[in-house]
């Protein structure tokens, strides 16, 4: 790679002159600038990023720690993060915790050595279950800003971008009760142990309580037997007239199982699930979805973190990104 030194030597001027010329300093004559530009162009000179980082003590890099990226929600958030970061001239280093506390901890530690200016993260499942967050606190204590999104830790004070988990499910449930006159609404959940899962279930319970209806919750822990479990439940509980799935997959499966049992959707059964960009394409009849604005969550996270990095008196805040209830044509 071409360096300033090489350019300087070839042009018979000093390194600092070259540096200033390339930074378009007013100190340098137009003539010299021109000579420098041309040679730099010719030799395809690019300032060494590492050296700049060392000098300025800024990496312009964000560490992004995600539980997984095969879940479309996190994939879409990553998309938003990458887009916003790029447009602010930041790079992102991505680590996947695979829902493991240990991996999350190691990633944070490894990148806390000057590799990144700050972190954007969603807490690993294990960290939430174990209620362990000392590793995150320690990063913040070391003056490296952290932003948490979606799955957050209440005890930790930092910027947060969250979804209206409680509210969206509350409203969806209320809609089923009031508009569609449903009385036996089943909640299907495979994320009960996550902060977001708890909030969503809470929203469901609240709406039912207000209508004096009984909650029915089907907890699933193993993705592989979801089909059977739902099928059995629907067979044994013929009165079920609506299903709310609080994840992005069991809703589609519920529709398939209901069809298998000869139920007409949405006449006999309404189904609302969480979903993202293409979820609706995969079910027929179309599932109604609570659409989390994952891309926007990613974008907002970057904006907020960068503000924290660049603003002297940044005030920590929690932003709630409202979800959008998207009714399928057939349900409405």
Q: Which does 277 bind (CB under 5 to 8 A by kind): DNA, its own copies, none?
A: its own copies
Name the β-bridge partners of 120.
64, 147
Beta strand pairing status for 270-275 and 185-189?
A: unpaired
Residues that bind DNA (CB under 7 A): 1, 3-5, 12-17, 19-20, 22-23, 25-29, 31-32, 45-48, 51-52, 54-57
| Shortest Å, Cβ 205 to its own copies | 27
The least CB distance from residue 39 to DNA, in Å, is 13
Closest by CA to 120, choosing from 327, 268, 298, is: 298
Residues that bind its own copies (CB under 8 A): 1, 44, 46-51, 53-54, 59, 61, 64, 68-70, 72, 75-76, 78-79, 82-83, 86, 91-96, 98, 103, 107, 109-115, 142, 223-224, 226-227, 249, 252-253, 256-257, 259-260, 276-278, 281-284
Nearer to its own copies, 192 or 227 (CB): 227
Contact assessment for residue 269 and residue 258, using Cβ atoms and an 8 Å cutoff: yes
Minimum CB separation of residue 70 from its own copies in Å reads 5
- Could you give the CA distance from residue 229 to residue 235 in angstroms, rounded to a whole number? 10
Alpha-helix runs per DSSP H in 158-293: 165-178, 195-210, 226-236, 250-260
Cα pseudo-dihedral 296, 298, 301, 303, rounded to 10 = -70
Classify residue 263 as left (phi > 0), alpha (psi -120 to 50) or beta: beta
Pick 102 or 322: Cβ nearer its own copies: 102
Of residues 26 and 278, the one with the C-beta less far from DNA? 26
Cβ(246)–Cβ(169) under 8 Å? yes
* Residue 118 CB, nearest approach to DNA (Å): 18
Q: Give the residue from 106, 81, 86 showing the smallest Cα distance to 96.
A: 106
Residue number, 54 or 316, with CB nearest to DNA: 54
CB of 71 to its own copies, least distance (A): 8
């Amino acid at each position: 790679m071409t360096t300033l030194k090489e350019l300087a030597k070839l042009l018979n001027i000093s390194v600092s002159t070259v540096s200033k010329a390339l930074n378009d300093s007013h100190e340098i004559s137009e003539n010299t600038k021109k000579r420098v530009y041309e040679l730099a162009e010719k030799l395809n000179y690019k300032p060494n990023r590492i050296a700049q980082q060392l000098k300025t003590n800024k990496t312009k890099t964000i560490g992004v720690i995600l539980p997984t990226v095969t879940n479309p929600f996190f994939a879409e958030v990553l998309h938003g993060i990458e887009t916003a970061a790029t447009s602010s001239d930041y790079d992102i280093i991505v680590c996947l915790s695979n829902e493991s506390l240990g991996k999350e901890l190691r990633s944070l530690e490894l990148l806390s050595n000057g590799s990144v200016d700050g972190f954007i993260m969603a807490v690993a499942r294990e960290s939430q279950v174990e209620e362990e967050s000392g590793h995150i606190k320690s990063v913040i204590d070391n003056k490296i800003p952290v932003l948490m999104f979606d799955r957050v830790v209440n005890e930790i004070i930092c910027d947060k971008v969250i979804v209206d988990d409680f509210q969206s499910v509350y409203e969806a449930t209320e809609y089923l009760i009031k508009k569609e006159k449903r009385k036996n609404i089943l909640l299907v959940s495979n994320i009960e142990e996550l902060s977001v899962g708890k909030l969503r279930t809470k929203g469901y319970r609240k709406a039912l309580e207000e209508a004096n209806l009984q909650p029915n919750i089907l907890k699933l822990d193993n993705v592989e037997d979801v089909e059977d479990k739902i099928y059995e439940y629907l067979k044994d509980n013929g009165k079920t007239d609506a299903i709310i799935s609080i994840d992005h997959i069991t809703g589609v499966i519920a529709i398939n199982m209901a069809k298998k049992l000869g139920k007409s959707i949405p006449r006999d059964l309404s189904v609302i699930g969480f979903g993202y960009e293409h979820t609706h394409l995969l079910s027929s009849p179309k599932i109604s979805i609570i659409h989390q604005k994952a891309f926007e969550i990613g974008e907002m996270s970057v904006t907020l973190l960068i503000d924290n990095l660049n603003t002297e008196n940044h005030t920590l805040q929690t932003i709630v990104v409202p979800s959008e209830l998207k009714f399928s044509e057939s349900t409405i």
